[in-house]
Structure 1
């Protein structure tokens, strides 16, 4: 990790792809004004609400809820959806359709309602294997496959369901017709519960449009809502880009990654909805601060400077700035003032949140220092010790506390204590982040300033081949996903907060899949960012 370098060294990372694009970008002129779009959205929401209330059967309700989620407009109907699912959960459901049983299982578990995997038993023979006729029904197999990924610890029957469904979907995927072919292809690459919601919505809109039974009112609302939110996100990106431009000039840390657009994108994966503007902006800044601090420990500072910086961060007083070398003094003062700005964004009864955020940052800094010491001493720690530190250094626990800072009333003191404790879903998020990042860097080739990764430490300690460690770490990632799923049932009072942590965890396969680090090497995000923030959907 940390490495001593000359102050005027060449940048360690490629420059931003975006420059001042979002500062000066003028969005396309739409076919109607924003006011007209908002009025039409309100009318369409009322109509969709009527459609939801008019659903007579459980299957109709489940399919509509699934469609609203797929199209990413379920946020307009949160109360109605929860009420609908609560009613469905409390009612008998004796469907003979495995597709419907799977859909009910997935939707209920996603929303924190416990459903036993025993619901699938009636579709199995006396030997516990799924009946043969299911193997010829790709739509049902896909539904079972996606549902089974909401498994928790010890549910081996759901692990078997995944293998069963995957095997048969793989064998038939080349024979499928669109749009089912595209859905199966996406799910085999990444199952629906681990897919970025807004990216799925863009893919699903065009597919839903092709379905003969699609509801044109629902589709029109999805397109209008997406374009309206995109205008808001563009305004936020402009404000955030200006903030970053000013910070960069003031601090002058040219060795750090210039990734403010990618920081915003990451924050957006946690919450895209209109009411989360404050939370989204604060989290984007928190991710940016974390990256700058990481790069300081990683790329620029000597070990002595790392120790000085950590001491200053632990003390958190402006008057200790003189402990630091000149190039870090402005950075340190900017850290303190940025946290003060977070406090200014909060209501009087919310200001306590900043102290939790600061504590999480101090924990992060201490672990960055440990990695720096390992690097400078060329120490390859035991796997267990490395993971304990590097999961914190992934930045995920810090981001999980940070995502609460700007949220509404659901971000309670209990939620902050839970997040700062770095247990269950928070720790699982860190594990998924760390291991996916390490697998990507090991296969892709790590930065020369990086400390020994978990992959290298495991190989060194156990003397095993690469494929063995990949399998071991892959298994640990799967266990973390089970923990993530389980958290929904173990903390019902924190469900809305846990869902945001789940969203952050779900971003990791997107950022670190395909053996890449899409944040550091951000060219792979270019098309997605354009689709989400630049190009409106044709109405």
Structure 2
């Protein structure tokens, strides 16, 4: 499993791959050419020259100096906020988070929330949870404290609800409060029936009355639509920053700090975007130099989407190495998934899986040239990541752990290939027990672990986070199936969770999809509780990175297949996130 020899001579690596590529081009896939399947993926829309041209003027010292001044001004707001004005402090913290600035004010936010939590939960002395408090204040209090990992009970909403889980008439007209309560309800744990009933009522009510509010206030209507479509708990925070900045600009509140906050938020967005553009140019150069798209033309060429996913896990400027490694990993996940789903025969896939299990290039001798190249790139890239993470973060024995998760991933894909070849439809439970591994979430989790610093070892971390990783994996698997199953069924791919559920339960596709969405909701409740009751040795930042795997899944598969169809899926988001600065 030692890869030091290969890493010592990168020129030899490139020459070997180039020789294979040349040989592959000459053979033109002559072996079984006619029997290979095709997913008919469209060509990549993000061209190399365009990505190389990305360059931001906001990557300059003058903007950083301006940002530092504005950060000091916002820090003063925490001091100027009256101790008794709990709602004003909560709104300030909420605004900071929405416009993507919370990483600049972690100490101030913690100090403010420690004081609020102490006063509210111990003395019950402030208006947020006392009988005089209104729905908006209570929901905002609950949402922010639970988001930040504080113990807070759903019971604070009891006085607003009747026995049927309907809002009392005295509060049912409070639109701001209803929106906040809907957001708060998406932070529920299993068994929190007050929040569950409130959510069901609010979804039905807000859907029925949203058209009416559109006539009164379009900003409220858009906020309602956004919350109903996907709650903030299930969105990648950074992906929504631009939307929130523009919404605050259109609807200026009476808060005097908003002008300063928005000026800082826009500078911060543009500064982060400038960093991301540099990272993207590096990733694009790596991908271009590999030349895999010439030889693996059956696979998805989606480097920019892979980079976007890495940004979704960690956007902060100090996570440059993390994004570089994760972009490569997600690219390899896509390619290998297409090797198993589209290209390889069952016998070839068994050889490929054995090569990954044994981590041995010699095992690929009987494979087509393109699959040899694929394994060699996996081998070299994984060795590179292992070496760099050991050097940067002080880990030992990284490579065996990375090899294991790649082997588990390939074995799960092989099971699905065997099901396809045997025309076998597994039970839903059988499908999911394999599908949560083939979702690739645990593979991404392990790479993310080594890309960040921790007090505990990987074995301890995997054990402590076993439930969290499982539920994230289930969500990613089910979201993927909801978004891609129609296209996969059309081309005759292996059974998805929807088909397995339909056949086993003898129900329509509509009911199967509805019940699978309920399973995703239940998995999120478990994640919410996992995040709150996490081991104190594990940082909240790392837990957020891990949970973002599920959030990225929602973005990718919300409107179909975000990897397969670039135009319909992620183009607008990438344009906004990585190309267009804020004015």
**In the alignment, does 2:555 pair up with 1:510?**
yes
In the alignment, the residues of structure 2 paired with residue 411 and residue 464 of structure 1 have an alpha-carbon distance, to the nearest angstrom, of 48
In the alignment, the residues of structure 1 paired with residue 243 and residue 321 of structure 2 have an alpha-carbon distance, to the nearest angstrom, of 28
Other-structure match for 2:525:
482
Change (3 A) 1:154 1:320: same
Q: 2:233 aligns with which of 178, 190, 193?
A: 193
Other-structure match for 2:10:
none
Other-structure match for 2:448:
403
The number of aligned residues is: 530
Q: 1:115 aligns with which of 147, 152, 162?
A: 152
Give deviations 1:40-62, integer Å, cap 9, x for gaps.
01111111111123222322221
Give deviations 1:190-230, integer Å, cap 9, x for gaps.
12211231232111111212313242111111000000111
Moved more, 242-251 or 279-288: 242-251
**In the alignment, does 2:314 pair up with 1:274?**
no
Other-structure match for 1:261:
304
Other-structure match for 1:83:
111
In the alignment, the residues of structure 2 paired with residue 189 and residue 250 of structure 1 have an alpha-carbon distance, to the nearest angstrom, of 36
Moved more, 110-119 or 456-465: 456-465
Deviation, 1:411, is: 7.3
In the alignment, the residues of structure 2 paired with residue 257 and residue 6 of structure 1 have an alpha-carbon distance, to the nearest angstrom, of 20
- SS class of match (1:446): helix
Please report the RMSD computed on the Cα atoms of aligned residues, expressed in angstroms.
2.3
Change (3 A) 1:45 1:447: farther
CA contact (8 A) 1:401 1:420 kept: no
CA contact (8 A) 1:123 1:131 kept: yes
In the alignment, the residues of structure 2 paired with residue 375 and residue 453 of structure 1 have an alpha-carbon distance, to the nearest angstrom, of 11
Moved more, 370-379 or 440-449: 440-449
Any unmatched runs of 5+ in structure 2?
1-31, 128-132
- SS class of match (1:179): helix
Give deviations 1:317-347, integer Å, cap 9, x for gaps.
3343425343322221221110121123224
**In the alignment, does 2:60 pair up with 1:34?**
yes
In the alignment, the residues of structure 2 paired with residue 7 and residue 459 of structure 1 have an alpha-carbon distance, to the nearest angstrom, of 30
Moved more, 253-262 or 210-219: 210-219
Change (3 A) 1:456 1:59: same
In the alignment, the residues of structure 1 paired with residue 564 and residue 464 of structure 2 have an alpha-carbon distance, to the nearest angstrom, of 28
In the alignment, the residues of structure 2 paired with residue 369 and residue 473 of structure 1 have an alpha-carbon distance, to the nearest angstrom, of 24
- SS class of match (2:514): helix
Other-structure match for 1:216:
259
In the alignment, the residues of structure 1 paired with residue 455 and residue 446 of structure 2 have an alpha-carbon distance, to the nearest angstrom, of 10
Deviation, 1:28, is: 5.3
CA contact (8 A) 1:11 1:254 kept: no
Change (3 A) 1:239 1:248: same
Deviation, 1:397, is: 1.8
Deviation, 1:26, is: 3.5
Other-structure match for 1:353:
398
Change (3 A) 1:238 1:512: same
Mapping of residues 115-514 of structure 1, within 5 Å: 115-125=152-162, 129-176=166-213, 177-209=217-249, 210-214=251-255, 215-249=258-292, 252-348=295-391, 349-407=394-452, 409-410=453-454, 412-414=456-458, 417-419=460-462, 423-443=466-486, 446=489, 448=491, 450-493=493-536, 494=538, 495-514=540-559
Q: 1:71 aligns with which of 80, 94, 99?
A: 99
Deviation, 1:384, is: 0.8
CA contact (8 A) 2:39 2:491 kept: no
Moved more, 266-275 or 168-177: 168-177
Q: 1:519 aligns with which of 563, 576, 583?
A: 563
In the alignment, the residues of structure 2 paired with residue 127 and residue 333 of structure 1 have an alpha-carbon distance, to the nearest angstrom, of 61
CA contact (8 A) 1:268 1:280 kept: yes
CA contact (8 A) 1:400 1:426 kept: yes
CA contact (8 A) 1:310 1:365 kept: yes
In the alignment, the residues of structure 2 paired with residue 26 and residue 298 of structure 1 have an alpha-carbon distance, to the nearest angstrom, of 34
CA contact (8 A) 1:85 1:108 kept: yes
Change (3 A) 1:104 1:21: farther
Deviation, 1:459, is: 1.7
Give deviations 1:341-362, integer Å, cap 9, x for gaps.
1123224422433432222111
In the alignment, the residues of structure 2 paired with residue 376 and residue 194 of structure 1 have an alpha-carbon distance, to the nearest angstrom, of 36
Larger radius of gyration: 2
Change (3 A) 1:186 1:444: farther
Any unmatched runs of 5+ in structure 1?
none
In the alignment, the residues of structure 2 paired with residue 410 and residue 132 of structure 1 have an alpha-carbon distance, to the nearest angstrom, of 50
In the alignment, the residues of structure 2 paired with residue 433 and residue 517 of structure 1 have an alpha-carbon distance, to the nearest angstrom, of 13
In the alignment, the residues of structure 2 paired with residue 52 and residue 522 of structure 1 have an alpha-carbon distance, to the nearest angstrom, of 43
In the alignment, the residues of structure 2 paired with residue 117 and residue 432 of structure 1 have an alpha-carbon distance, to the nearest angstrom, of 25
CA contact (8 A) 1:263 1:288 kept: yes
CA contact (8 A) 1:299 1:449 kept: no
